[in-house]
Structures are given as C-alpha cells and as structure tokens.
C-alpha cells in the first residue's frame, strides 16, 4: 500500500501533513481508497490518482494550487531549535525572505482540514509513526514534531538521536514519531572493506520497521550521487557485482525489493504505508 505525497522546498510541510492527518484519523470521511496498493504499482502508476472519498464528493487531492494563507506557518522554527537540524533551518541559515512560509496546498474541489496537533495525538494515542529514507524523511520527521509540539508545548516528551534510528515520544499520549535513515531503503553490507548495495536485500533495514503503525517511506536523490557523495562502492544484483549500472535500473530494482517486502510483510489492516515523491534538492 502506498501513496505519493508531494512536497515543495524548505518547511512547506503543513498541507502534506494535513492530508496525512486526514487519512489517518477521519475514517468516517476518508476511506482506504486513498491508499494505493503497491501490487502492480508500476503498471497502474500512470493511471491512478490519489482520491479522497466522502459522502458528498470525490476530491483529487493532487489537483490544485498553492494558495497564500496569512495564518501560516503553523510553527516558527525559532520556537523549535532543539528539533530542527541546523542545516535544515532555512531561517537560521539566513534565508532573507519568509513569504514561502505563507502558503498551503488547496485541492481544486475540496478543503483540507487545518492540522491540529492535539487532535492528532489523541487519535494516535498508543501508536507509532516511522519515517524511513533520506533527508526528506528526516525533514518531515522534525517538522511533524514541531507542528505537534506547538499545540501541546507543556506535554512531557523524550527524544533520542542515533544512526540509523532516532525517535521522539510524547509521553502523556504514548505516541512515538521516529526516523530510520535508509537512503536506498535496501541494505548496504560491508564486504572486505567495501560497501555493497544489495538491490535484492532489505531485511537488515526492514527488521526495524515491522512494528510501526504508520510507515512513511522515501528514496531517490542518493541513487544519482557520484564521487564523494556516493554511498556505496559496488552494487550487487542476482549474485553479480557491478562497479556501476544505469541508476534508474538500480532504483527500479531496489524499489521492487521494497514493494515485495511491503506486500509480503505488512498487515494492511494494522499498518498504513505511504511513499513520498522525490523533493527538490536542498543543496546549493
């Protein structure tokens, strides 16, 4: 089960989370039709549009525009300094403008509810959300924590940062939001001092994902990195080692491995799975 959730540049996350929130908690309005199966996803991708079903209408969530909203942003980065990594904090790093923070996503024929952090925690009590992937997932992990914290600034919390796993827990609600760093999703093993990207292996990473109630995956940018930014020395597929291959072919094989794991492992009655598109790079 997967859903692409599109995101513009730095900090414009609120509308994406409003939709995420809607899918998770408004079961009387939103139906499982919002979630698209990963089975045959490569065959159906170009023919599928994520839809929100309601008694009154059908809303194409990704047909719309960014509209200005003076009530935004939902939080100020200066009020969440211990959560946002310095390199992801546009305002602290000296971005001179702030108008980009005043926009929200407006679907063409329906309204997304405004994100409510307290209601989110009440509905997610006793549950866990895990972002898995690269810096896009890390950005959204941090931003979701800040969005919720702005609604419940006095609640008790616990945080731990690590590599590859970090988590933030709202103790009064037993709700955990975590991030697992896996830029390729599939495994990387160290073989005779060399990093080997296993295009058909995922269990080394995936064992950490099994118990989450909501999984939000992304991958993309790292598959194109070369030189010092390349995260592997060899690729392995079907028992053959490659110094390099067509990166889109490698990405397709890796995503195929991920999709098979989701279909074979995830209980769709218990766990919601989302897949995010690739974001614009945040490097200059």
pLDDT in tens, 160-194: 999 999 999 999 999 999 999 999 999 999 999 99
| Cis amide leading into 15 (omega within 30) | no
What number of other Cβ atoms are within 10 A of residue 43's Cβ?
Answer: 9
Question: Is residue 235 included in any domain, yes or no?
Answer: yes
What is the model's pTM?
Answer: 0.81
Q: Is residue 281 part of a domain?
A: no
Number of domains in the chain: 1
Average pLDDT over residues 232-245: 97
In a domain, 113, yes or no: yes
Question: Quick check: is 215 in a domain?
Answer: yes
Residue 5 placed within a domain: no
What's the angle, vertex CA 122, arms to CA 121 and CA 128, rounded to 5? Answer: 50
Place 36 in a pLDDT band, splitting at 50, 70 and 90.
very low
* Domain span at 145: 14-275
Tell me: the pLDDT tens digits for 250-277? Answer: 999 999 999 999 999 999 999 999 998 7
Q: Is residue 283 part of a domain?
A: no
- pLDDT tier at 109 (50, 70, 90 boundaries)? confident
**Mean of pLDDT values over 222-233:** 94
Instruction: Say how many Å lie between the first and final Cα of the chain, rounded.
Output: 34
Q: Return the closest-CA partner of residue 3 out of 216, 213, 258.
A: 216
pLDDT at 93: 81
Q: Please indicate, yes or no, if residue 4 is contained in any of the structural domains.
A: no
Q: Determine contact, residues 11/101, Cβ cutoff 8 Å.
A: yes
Alpha carbon distance 255, 238 (integer Å)? 15
109 falls within a domain: yes
Q: Provide the mean pLDDT of the chain.
A: 83
What tens digit of pLDDT does each residue of 121-146 get?
999 999 999 999 999 999 999 999 99
């Amino acid at each position: 089960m997967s859903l692409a959730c599109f995101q513009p540049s730095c900090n414009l996350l609120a509308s994406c989370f409003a939709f995420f929130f809607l899918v998770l908690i408004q079961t009387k309005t939103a139906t499982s039709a919002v979630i698209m199966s990963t089975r045959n996803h490569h065959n159906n991708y170009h023919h599928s549009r994520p839809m929100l079903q309601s008694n009154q209408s059908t809303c194409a969530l990704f047909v719309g525009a960014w509209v200005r909203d003076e009530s935004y942003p939902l939080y100020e980065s200066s009020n969440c300094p211990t959560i946002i990594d310095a390199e992801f904090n546009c305002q602290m790093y000296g971005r001179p403008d702030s108008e980009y923070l005043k926009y929200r996503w407006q679907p063409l024929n329906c309204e997304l509810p405004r994100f409510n952090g307290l209601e989110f925690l009440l509905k997610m009590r006793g549950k866990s959300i895990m972002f898995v992937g690269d810096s896009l997932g890390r950005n959204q992990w941090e931003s979701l924590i800040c969005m919720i914290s702005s609604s419940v600034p006095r609640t008790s919390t616990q945080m731990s940062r690590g590599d590859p796993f970090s988590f933030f827990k709202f103790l009064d609600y037993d709700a955990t939001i975590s991030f697992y760093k896996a830029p390729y999703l599939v495994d990387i093993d160290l073989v005779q001092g060399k990093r080997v990207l296993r295009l058909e292996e995922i269990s080394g990473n995936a064992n950490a994902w099994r118990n989450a109630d909501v999984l939000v995956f992304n991958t993309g940018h790292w598959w194109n990195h070369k030189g010092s930014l390349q995260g592997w020395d060899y690729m392995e597929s079907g028992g053959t080692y490659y110094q390099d291959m067509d990166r889109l072919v490698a990405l397709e094989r890796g995503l195929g491995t991920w999709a098979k794991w989701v279909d074979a492992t995830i209980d769709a009655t218990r766990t919601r799975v989302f897949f995010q598109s690739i974001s614009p790079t945040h490097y200059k």
